[in-house]
Amino acid sequence: MLKFIKAPTAIILVVLCFVLSSCKNDGTSDNASLFKGQPQLININTEYTKSPNVATANKLLKEMTNIIGQNKLSDSELKAYLEYGLDVSSTQNITSRQAGFLMSLIKEDFGNKNTASRLFNLSSIMAKMKKTTVSNTLVKGLLKNFPNFEKADQAKALLTEDIQDVNEYVVSLGKKIFENPDNTGINRFASLAYVDACEAFALSHPKDANAPDYLFKAAEVAKSLRTFPKSLTLYDWIIEEYPDFEKAGTALFLKGFIIENNLGDDEKAREIYNEFLKKYPKHDLADDVQFLIENLGKSDEEILKMIESKQKENQ
């Protein structure tokens, strides 16, 4: 599946880093402001700049990703981290991390002047990784949004199919989920390809009316595959980027439900449920959410006894 660095709620993973444009060989002073307040990261970055190799780069990028995941960076800090992460991963040719940073930068800053090039680079990486449904979808978005892109011919060469309508293409991938199902009732390989394509569509067609719906469907498929972190990432994408989507409230509810029932974090679930009630007090699921809040931590047996007791009281 596609993986990206999760951005803060303020995300789904972005001012360009002036630090990067003035990078010196030792890099220590250049990144002092970027990593301000992060002494461990400063030390790791110093280690990398003194001995730039795949091992030190991975150590640096792992720590940067951890900090990004804490959702405490400002938008400008986030973009700077992502820019630097992309620079390091590209320099060391760490393809998987490079793809992650590219995806996050495209998602967080689609209006950036470098978005077309980033889409092309990400498409190329996905093609090399044999993720053709992803590269095909990304290329179609690139050509639609940036018809005058200087490498348009090279981008077209990445297509493995003659795709006239990218929406029909994504829908066709969704239909394959139920072809030759395994013991889970779905085709796992086709399901993963569909989830990836839906993400790629939203990434490269962020303003398309179908984008949030594809993300929602992908989240449901990911849930069926029991890849719960992926589901949560997709629900967050909807919640943060498409707050007016008709299923945004349901996405928030399902996020809390997964956190409670599949990840077992009652307190985090309570936080999400309360957020739901605050945002959507008149939602059809509001009563259900209130019930869930009142019974967090209780066993099914305890809840059943409580329901039976209330029924007797009402008789």
Which residues 6+ apart lie within 8 Å of 66 measured at CB? Answer: none
CA distances from 214 to 132, 154, 200 (A): 18, 27, 10
Rounded CA-CA distance 239/244 in Å is 9
77, 18 Cβ separation under 8 angstroms:
no
The length of the chain, given as a count of residues:
315
Instruction: Quote the CA–CA distance of 89 and 61 in Å, as a whole number.
Output: 8
For residue 265, what are the CA distances in angstroms to 82, 248, 256, 260, 298?
29, 22, 9, 5, 13
- What is the pTM for the complete model shown? 0.84
CA pair distance 205, 140, nearest whole angstrom: 9
- Quick: pLDDT tens for 120-153: 999 999 999 999 999 999 999 999 999 999 999 9
Q: Per-residue pLDDT tens for 57-66?
A: 999 999 999 9
User: Do 252 and 239 contact (CB within 8 A), yes or no?
Assistant: yes
List of the chain residues with pLDDT < 50:
7-29
Single-letter amino acid code for the residue at 239:
I
Spans of all domains in the chain = 1-109
Q: Where are the alpha helices (DSSP H) in the chain?
A: 18-21, 39-50, 54-69, 75-91, 95-108, 115-128, 132-145, 152-156, 166-175, 188-204, 211-224, 228-241, 248-261, 266-279, 286-294, 300-313
Q: How many CA atoms lie within 13 A of 162 on its CB side?
A: 0
What confidence score (pLDDT) does residue 2 get? 58
Give the max Cα distance, the chain.
Answer: 80
User: Which pLDDT score, from 0 to 100, does residue 7 have?
Assistant: 47
Q: Any residues with CB less than 8 A from the CB of 70 and at least 6 apart, and which?
A: none
